[in-house]
Amino acid sequence: MNKLDSAGHTIHFETQLNPLTEILESGKYSKIFVFADGNTSQFCLPVFQEMLDDFTGFDLIETDPGEENKNIDFCIGIWKTLLDFGADRKCLMINLGGGVVTDLGGFVASTYKRGIDFINIPTTLLSQVDASVGGKTGIDIDNVKNMVGTFTLPKSVFIETKFLKTLPEREMLSGFAEMIKHGLIADKSYYEELKKGNHKEIEAQAIYTSVNIKNDVVTEDPHEKGLRKILNFGHTIGHAVETYSLINDKSPLTHGEAIAIGMVCEGFLSVSNNTLTGDELEDISNYILETYPSYQIKKESFSQLLEFMQSDKKNENGEIMFSLLNSIGSCAFNCRVAEGDILASLNYYNTLAKSPS
Amino acid sequence: MNKLDSAGHTIHFETQLNPLTEILESGKYSKIFVFADGNTSQFCLPVFQEMLDDFTGFDLIETDPGEENKNIDFCIGIWKTLLDFGADRKCLMINLGGGVVTDLGGFVASTYKRGIDFINIPTTLLSQVDASVGGKTGIDIDNVKNMVGTFTLPKSVFIETKFLKTLPEREMLSGFAEMIKHGLIADKSYYEELKKGNHKEIEAQAIYTSVNIKNDVVTEDPHEKGLRKILNFGHTIGHAVETYSLINDKSPLTHGEAIAIGMVCEGFLSVSNNTLTGDELEDISNYILETYPSYQIKKESFSQLLEFMQSDKKNENGEIMFSLLNSIGSCAFNCRVAEGDILASLNYYNTLAKSPS
């Protein structure tokens, strides 16, 4: 279980960064940059350095934490910093952090001087089970998530559960939503296992299973022409709710909290549009409602949510496209849904979230 | 001679855009965008539309002409315009213009929603013989040329000499410098032919030969790990002079004029570092000096020129790397040159340019 060969690169599990030592000592790179945010430079960088025998042979580039900083201004700042530090095409960038760091760092690396090598060390559960695989890089523009980006694979990915030790429970739950999704779209027995377990004590084996599921999907369809869209289950509505919350709520939803809401809503749509049964929907809804804090999607936000969904990348010819469950463990993509059904699904979630679970 | 199959895409020559009609009528694309600058929308767009039976089924996105606009601000503007126009992943962008339009348009297309299809229709001699092949996209940041970009191939390229009819002589000469370079680095007989001809009347056959030479090189080394660097002959010094001129001269040098100067200087370096003979250097210098207007590289600019060369993408470990001629028709890459020799080469050009040719 210590590595997984993905298209063109290797995902290393629980190796104490040993293979990274070899890479750093190979002399292949002219300079090493570590890119981190204010949190990971404080909590994860020392762990990273310790695993590498107190490694200091790098320049640190730091960004502010938070999705709102995954923007073009920070991106320009990092490009210029690399230039100021004399970064040539043979340098290596190590992205140490959550999805914001690996998305933004990956985009910067994939475009600086038309592309330098980068390695991702995801330090949150969310980024370990999600952003670690598939080569998506990106930044947000005008609050449109990942409006600009590339498909570029890191040279390697290192997944170390050691980094999760410092993670607040809410952050663990955020990543856990993607693991539930992996079970729902591709592996019923994995979903059932997750239900039995405890999201506070995630085992490395479960992370491996999630990464494996995602890897199988993206290997078959790296550029999201078809199958890969199933990974967006819960995300069409989830992203819209997340964006709205980021702009309007004092304490915004995490990605996983928003995706959890999205999975309930899109589970509802799966019943109206596909073959998901009412019992299965109830099972999913109950599990999510008891695992995640409840939230009310404001009625007055509905029209704006629809607008956000309109700019979703999966859409074609102006129609909002969904990925919906056929059953627990199987997912379809390119599903059309009437606007009225979308609104009904938001109301469905609100009704459940209001009543005590 | 009407097409050339390059890695993954086709370069069409003098087809009156017939194959493009098929692409546009295939129904494969949800929307068509034409990206042009103020000049090409005025002079080339009508020619483009006429060739396509007065085609109007597109949205026009226009930028200001000139290298100084190949920057991140215009880039952000175009990303947002695409979003405002409801561009999804299945739209097509047709870049109609010179290198600024195809570089900038290519970068926007290769990153918008992680990449949409684009087609290049280069309308200047320079972009037909240079930017048309090799999949380089890019923008300048803080006057550093192509500091940010990607290697992304257009779906097709269309080369039509009809577009050159409206081009001023100075623009023709700018592209002609790249054709001379192709002869110098790879094909002595082509160089001799160019010398016999007249740069005011470029034949489609010569453009084809140039594109063919470049295509052979980039097919062997798409990501500029080695061989492709020979295409940078004349460009290490040429780019520096071009950048300096763009910032300081009232009427800045064109790209080709700067590259012509660069080829004389780097020809000089080829004599000191390689096997190029003094007679060959004289032949090159005479030909360039009689074809291009002379220019004086100011002594007080020398240190800044060296700084610009330091940020060249070909460099490794802080050393300025050159591509230098072994002989007329053969080029080496990764050549180290002492700073004193670089300065001597600038003085060599200045001395020649002063005396009447």
Query: For residue range A40-64, what is the model confidence (pLDDT) as tens digits?
Result: 999 999 999 999 999 999 999 999 9
Contact by Cβ (8 Å): B29, B93: no
A-chain CB neighbours of B89 within 8 Å are 224, 313-314, 316
Please determine, for residue B356, whether its predicted confidence score (pLDDT) is greater than 70: no
Q: Which residues of A are catalytic?
A: 114, 136, 178, 214, 224, 228, 232, 235, 239, 255
A27 in reach of chain B (CB within 8 A) = no
A-chain CB neighbours of B138 within 8 Å are 114
* Least confident among A42-46, A108-112, A196-200: A196-200
CB contact under 8 A, A150 and B318: no
Reported confidence tier of residue B139, pLDDT bands at 50, 70, 90: very high
Distances in Å between the alpha carbon of B243 and those of A122, A135, A328, B145, B259? 40, 35, 60, 8, 11
CATH 1.20.1090.10 intervals, chain A: 169-354
The CATH number corresponding to A169-354 among 3.40.50.720, 1.20.1090.10, 1.10.3720.10, 1.10.10.60 equals 1.20.1090.10
Nearest CA-CA distance, residue B186 and chain A, Å: 25
**Among the listed residues B149, B3, B200, B339, the one whose alpha carbon sits nearest the alpha carbon of residue A108:** B149
CB contact under 8 A, B141 and A89: no
Please determine, for residue B233, whether its predicted confidence score (pLDDT) is greater than 50: yes
Q: What is the pLDDT of residue B309?
A: 92
CB contact under 8 A, A115 and B147: no
Record the tokens describing residue B201, joined without a space: 């009347």
Contact by Cβ (8 Å): B150, A114: yes
Candidates A88, A136, A150; nearest CB to B111? A150
Query: Which one-letter amino acid corresponds to residue B207?
Result: I
Distances in Å between the alpha carbon of B203 and those of A199, B110, B246, B290? 70, 32, 30, 21
Q: Which residues contact B72 (CB under 8 A, 6 or more apart)?
A: A72, A76, B139, B141, B148
Q: Which residues of B are catalytic?
A: 114, 136, 178, 214, 224, 228, 232, 235, 239, 255
Please determine, for residue A164, whether its predicted confidence score (pLDDT) is greater than 50: yes
Check residue B203 and report its DSSP letter: -
CB contact under 8 A, A83 and B141: yes
A112 in reach of chain B (CB within 8 A) = yes
Reported confidence tier of residue B166, pLDDT bands at 50, 70, 90: confident
Rounded distance between C-alpha atoms, residue B185 and residue B101, angstroms: 27
Reported confidence tier of residue B273, pLDDT bands at 50, 70, 90: confident
Mean predicted confidence (pLDDT) in B1-8: 78
B-chain CB neighbours of A223 within 8 Å are 114-115
Candidates A89, A90, A147; nearest CB to B113? A147
Candidates B30, B76, B111; nearest CB to A317? B30
Please determine, for residue A149, whether its predicted confidence score (pLDDT) is greater than 50: yes
> How many CB pairs below 8 Å do chains A and B form together?
107
Tokens 């009528």 -> residue: B25
Contact by Cβ (8 Å): B117, A225: no
Mean predicted confidence (pLDDT) in B314-326: 85
Mean predicted confidence (pLDDT) in B93-108: 97
Contact by Cβ (8 Å): B190, B182: yes
Candidates A83, A136, A316; nearest CB to B114? A136
Please determine, for residue B305, whether its predicted confidence score (pLDDT) is greater than 90: yes
CB contact under 8 A, B318 and A83: no
Query: Which one-letter amino acid corresponds to residue A146?
Result: N
Q: What is the pLDDT of residue A355?
A: 63
Nearest CA-CA distance, residue A333 and chain B, Å: 16
CB contact under 8 A, A313 and B151: no
Contact by Cβ (8 Å): B342, B308: no
Please determine, for residue A1, whether its predicted confidence score (pLDDT) is greater than 70: no
A81 in reach of chain B (CB within 8 A) = no
Mean predicted confidence (pLDDT) in B322-331: 96
Candidates B112, B136, B142; nearest CB to A148? B112
**Among the listed residues A218, A15, A202, A16, the one whose alpha carbon sits nearest the alpha carbon of residue A133:** A218
Residue of A nearest to B320 (CA): A88
CB contact under 8 A, B111 and A30: no
Reported confidence tier of residue A36, pLDDT bands at 50, 70, 90: very high
Candidates A90, A114, A314; nearest CB to B150? A114
Tokens 């849904």 -> residue: A337
* Least confident among A299-313, B69-83, B105-119: A299-313
CB neighbours (10 Å) of residue A9?
17
Q: What is the pLDDT of residue A307?
A: 92
Reported confidence tier of residue A357, pLDDT bands at 50, 70, 90: very low
Q: What is the pLDDT of residue A9?
A: 85
pLDDT in tens, A247-292: 999 999 999 999 999 999 999 999 988 789 999 999 999 999 999 9
Nearest CA-CA distance, residue A85 and chain B, Å: 11
Mean predicted confidence (pLDDT) in B163-174: 92
Distances in Å between the alpha carbon of B185 and those of A215, B179, B290, B334, B349? 44, 10, 20, 14, 20
At A175, phi and psi to the nearest 5?
Answer: -70, -30
B-chain CB neighbours of A82 within 8 Å are none
Reported confidence tier of residue B357, pLDDT bands at 50, 70, 90: very low
pLDDT in tens, A331-343: 999 999 999 999 9
Rounded to a whole number, what is the largest CA-CA distance in chain B? 61
Reported confidence tier of residue B355, pLDDT bands at 50, 70, 90: low
CATH 3.40.50.1970 intervals, chain B: 3-166
Three-class DSSP category at B136: strand
Q: Sort strands A330-336 and A321-327 into parallel, antiparallel or unpaired.
A: antiparallel
Mean predicted confidence (pLDDT) in A17-29: 93
* Least confident among A96-105, A119-128, B4-13: B4-13
Nearest CA-CA distance, residue B79 and chain A, Å: 8
ipTM, two decimals? 0.89
CB contact under 8 A, B110 and A83: no
CATH, range B3-166: 3.40.50.1970
Distances in Å between the alpha carbon of B165 and those of B44, B123, B169, B171? 10, 10, 10, 11
- Average confidence score pLDDT of chain A: 93
B336 in reach of chain A (CB within 8 A) = no
Q: What is the pLDDT of residue A132?
A: 85
Q: What is the pLDDT of residue B272?
A: 85
Mean predicted confidence (pLDDT) in B3-28: 90
Three-class DSSP category at B96: strand
Reported confidence tier of residue B209, pLDDT bands at 50, 70, 90: very high
Please determine, for residue B276, whether its predicted confidence score (pLDDT) is greater than 90: yes
CB contact under 8 A, B111 and A111: yes
Tokens 């470049």 -> residue: B214
Chain B residues 125-144 within an 8 A CB cutoff of chain A:
136-138, 141-142, 144
CB contact under 8 A, A313 and B113: yes
Please determine, for residue B315, whether its predicted confidence score (pLDDT) is greater than 80: no
A7 or B116: which leads in pLDDT: B116
B-chain CB neighbours of A155 within 8 Å are none
Reported confidence tier of residue A4, pLDDT bands at 50, 70, 90: confident
